[in-house]
Amino acid sequence: SIEAVGVKIKSKNKEIIIVSVYRGGRIELTKKDIKLLSSLGRHVIILGDLNAKHHAWDCNYNNKSGETLYQSALKYNLMICAPDTPTHFPPWPRKPSILDLALIKNLPLVDLSNLNILSSDHNPLLLQLFVDTCYHEERIYYTKVNWHHFRAYINRVIEINPKLDSKLDIDKEIKHFTELITEATSITSNNSVNYLNDFPVHIKLLIKFKNYIRKQYKRYNTFYYCKLKNLLQNTLKLEIKLWRNSKWHKFLSGVSASTGSLWKVTKYFKSRQERTSHPIIASNRTYETASEKANLFASYFQKVYTMNANMGSQYFNSFVNRFVRNHLNNLKYASSECKLTCPREVAAIIKKKPSKKAPGIDKISYSMIKQLPRKALVYLTYLFNKMFMLGYFPDAWKHAKVIIISKSGKDKSKLESYRPISLLNSLSKVYENLIVARINDFLERENVLIKEQFGFRRGLSSTAQLTRVVDHVLVNYNKRKHTGMLLIDIEKAFDTVWHTGLLFKLIRYKLPEYLVKTVHCYLSNRTFAVHIEQWSSDARTVYAGVPQGSVLGPILFLLYINDIPKFKNNKIALFADDAAIFTSSWRTDTIANRLSKHVKTISRYFHKWKIKPNLTKFEAIMFTKRRPIISSDVTAANTVIPWSPSVTYLGVQLDSKLTFTTHINMLVDKSKKAIRLLFPLLSRDSGLSVENKLLIYKVAIRPFLTYACESWSSTSNTNFKKLQIVQNKFLRLVLSAPRYTKIETLHIKLDLPIIKDFIIKKCNLFFEKSSVSNNVLISSIGVNDSVHATRHKLIKHNLV
């Protein structure tokens, strides 16, 4: 008796049927019609004009169709959703009313809004359905894998000495080995999960009784049922709250650092990552579906790889391309020149890998690789050695699965507000570790890397670089000199490395030939695809850059910028792509002139090697204890870089007088925020033990408070007191101590040193290690020039 047309929408976890209906004014609406429509599926949305009026959706009166619809909705458990304003506007003198409705079955609440765009006598409606659209990828529960059977299966199937005469043979063996691990895991695991509700029996019964009373109230609309319904709702809320609290208390009581559960809970409260579910606006168009966004991000990231392609002179580019091509064509080496590996080295690398690291496109995790039997390790060693001999990196390991993570505090509708995370195959990273070990041996033996580079190097850190810079400034304070520093930012540094230029430099550094060939193969024909929910973009080619998330990428980048130009009277500080140049003088105009000339030389170097500086993020600061008139500014590529009162370098805020007050205030504010986020774990009712609460402070809060404290240990006692107040607040939470409890008592009970003593101890340990460092830039930190009087605090002031 009514007109209807429907569509079926399938998602990962449910099937939704959407039906558009219309009933003419003279056609009777029956319960049979509603029953037929509602029985089309488990999840149904019925939309349209049924010419049904009822007080329940704010009509002026009830008609027969409205009564039928209302009673049918109660009987067949349908939710009637109507807009707040009229949707039908008949000719005068008839009054507007709500005739357009939505009937929802077994779906969460919806938002039905009136668009007020009158194209006829009915307004169009916008229905927004709030369902869980997040894609839950099928995962393996490693606690349910029988690892004994897993190893036995692989031992039974694998062959140790396969025939490997060519690169094609290696590709076939890797494919076979990957399928073998996947098959062994699938056969020996049980991934069935019980999704049943875990409410206790008395709450389930209360829910059923409450639903029954609610239906009775809807049917009879009496005061008795209304009062009973409200009473049951309040009782149910209280019971659920008490049950959840007791469950949470029981869980926290069993939390332990040894099992890792403590760190999972702490990480959950400190950072909650959002998914890429927001619409993206690009080129005056809105992209909403996962498939559209995946290809949009893929196109955006691919443009990044080619953004610097036109930089550099044509003559130099041709020379480099010709030189590298000729060298690779004539490249020859004997197998005896290759430094081969052994099962012990492979096993040692695998052992150090984090078990819970996300796998690549092949879904083989480190947890699986760590369970491989010795026979499989011998097989892998044989494969790796053949790859070294052939200078080959398998094609199957050169594809990256890219997921998108939103940047905090950024507009989530813009492409620039997201960062890519590349997931590479776990086996490929094991091979990369072997390559890196051989490159590092060569670099240390030949002393290739410049001593100013502190990034990704053994025994060096961001803290050491910061302390070196601060020590230089403080020593020159005592010489009555100013120090100027310019922070240089490279745009998309790792993603825009010129492959041919990198190979040119590796050849000039005289890297062993088999490693040059392996790196060339590693960089060639790399691809990536962006994955959002269950959708994947088309595979895109990577034309430049070192792979993000790789093991080999960082050391290749260090070699690429290793020949960055230096300048007389200037110093340079590098930590991977974070570069700073600084110089000292009695005259501020001399400082500005030196920095301008140096950055001009660096700009020419950047253009030559297709490196793009981000001038908008360049910062300059003048460190001085006096009040000089600074008349000259630093100029970079015809852009004036103004002097800033403070800058952030390697995570520490440096002010012009090096009091570190702005940095300490920032630490205090962020620490207080972290304490608020962790309060559910620290409150007296949380159930977490005192030992675990204190452990949270030692692992999650104090390292943040004391990051790079070696560089700012000369700060004032006032700033130390600010940090001590944060520690005191945390200790009161740990012990649930009242405000009148003495600070000394708190520290004695928990056997914890005051913050200044802890920092002094940490600094003493740092300077003991730095004094015996092979890098002269570190061993000279804190060595005061006794010729000059100590008028200002030095780096070791508070350590004496």
Instruction: Return the H-helix or E-strand segment holding 755.
Output: helix 755-771
Would you say 385 and 379 are in contact if contact means Cβ atoms under 8 Å apart? no
Q: Residue 431, exposed/middle/buried by CB under 10 A (0-12, 13-18, 19+)?
A: buried
Using CA atoms, how far apart are residues 270 and 276, in angstroms rounded to an integer? 20
Residues in Cβ contact with 689 at an 8 Å cutoff, skipping those fewer than 6 apart: 253
Q: Among candidates 164, 186, 182, which has minimal Cα distance to 173?
A: 164
Per the structure, the count of domains in the chain is 6
Same domain as 118, residue 168? no
Same domain as 765, residue 698? yes
Give the 3-state secondary structure percentages of the chain, helix then strand then coil, rounded to 5. Answer: 45, 15, 40
HSE value, Cβ hemisphere, 13 Å, CA-based, for 494: 17
* 367 CB neighbour count, 10 Å cutoff: 19
Give the pLDDT score at 134.
46
Q: What is the CA radius of gyration of the chain?
A: 34
Give the pLDDT score at 786.
47
Is there a cis peptide before residue 680, judged by omega within 30 degrees of 0? no
Average pLDDT over residues 405-429: 88
Residue 529 has pLDDT above 70, yes or no: yes
Highest mean pLDDT range out of 133-147, 671-685, 725-739, 783-797? 725-739
Same domain as 166, residue 54? no
Using CA atoms, how far apart are residues 668 and 658, in angstroms rounded to an integer? 18
Using CA atoms, how far apart are residues 730 and 748, in angstroms rounded to an integer? 14
Using CA atoms, how far apart are residues 503 and 511, in angstroms rounded to an integer? 10
> Tokens 């369902």 belong to which residue?
131
Same domain as 679, residue 543? no
CATH, residue 591: 3.30.70
Same domain as 729, residue 611? no
Q: How do residues 739-774 score in pLDDT, each as one tens digit?
A: 888 999 999 999 999 999 999 999 999 999 998 999
Using CA atoms, how far apart are residues 667 and 672, in angstroms rounded to an integer? 9
Main-chain dihedrals φ then ψ at residue 784, nearest 5 degrees: -75, 140
Q: How do residues 26-63 score in pLDDT, each as one tens digit?
A: 788 888 888 888 888 878 899 888 888 888 787 888 88
Would you say 568 and 556 are in contact if contact means Cβ atoms under 8 Å apart? no
Instruction: Flag whether 139 is in a domain.
Output: no
Tokens (6 digits) for 143: 């606690």
Q: Residue 181, exposed/middle/buried by CB under 10 A (0-12, 13-18, 19+)?
A: buried
Same domain as 439, residue 361? yes
Same domain as 484, residue 374? no
Give the pLDDT score at 136.
47
User: Which of 483, 517, 551 finishes a domain?
Assistant: 551
Q: What is the mean pLDDT of the chain?
A: 87
Instruction: Flag whether 277 is in a domain.
Output: no
Q: Residue 642, exposed/middle/buried by CB under 10 A (0-12, 13-18, 19+)?
A: exposed
Residues in Cβ contact with 333 at an 8 Å cutoff, skipping those fewer than 6 apart: 512, 513, 514, 517
Would you say 603 and 613 are in contact if contact means Cβ atoms under 8 Å apart? yes
Instruction: Flag whether 287 is in a domain.
Output: no
Using CA atoms, how far apart are residues 494 and 325, in angstroms rounded to an integer? 23
Instruction: Flag whether 284 is in a domain.
Output: no
Give the pLDDT score at 38.
84
Instruction: Flag whether 273 is in a domain.
Output: no
Instruction: Flag whether 137 is in a domain.
Output: no
CATH, residue 115: 3.60.10.10
Residue 722 belongs to domain spanning: 661-798
Q: Among candidates 490, 488, 489, 501, which has minimal Cα distance to 309?
A: 501
Would you say 295 and 288 are in contact if contact means Cβ atoms under 8 Å apart? no
Chain centre to alpha carbon of residue 444: 33
Same domain as 667, residue 640? no
Same domain as 213, residue 88? no
Q: How do residues 346-360 score in pLDDT, each as one tens digit?
A: 999 999 999 888 899
Same domain as 768, residue 686? yes
Q: How many residues are recorded in the chain?
A: 800
Tokens (6 digits) for 419: 């960062």
Residue 688 has pLDDT above 80, yes or no: no
Residue 196 has pLDDT above 50, yes or no: no
DSSP track, 194-263:
-------HHHHHHHHHHHHHHHHHHHH--HHHHHHHHHHHHHHHHHHHHHHHHHHHHHHHT--TTTTHHH
Average pLDDT over residues 449-472: 94
Strands 634-636 and 619-623, bridge-based pairing: unpaired
Would you say 261 and 255 are in contact if contact means Cβ atoms under 8 Å apart? yes
Q: What is the DSSP letter of 88?
A: B
Residue 591 has pLDDT above 60, yes or no: yes
Instruction: Flag whether 267 is in a domain.
Output: no
Instruction: Flag whether 539 is in a domain.
Output: yes
Strands 15-22 and 43-49, bridge-based pairing: parallel
Same domain as 405, residue 388? yes
Give the pLDDT score at 724.
95
User: Which of 625, 655, 685 finishes a domain?
Assistant: 655
Using CA atoms, how far apart are residues 501 and 520, in angstroms rounded to an integer? 11
Same domain as 160, residue 36? no
Would you say 761 and 799 are in contact if contact means Cβ atoms under 8 Å apart? no
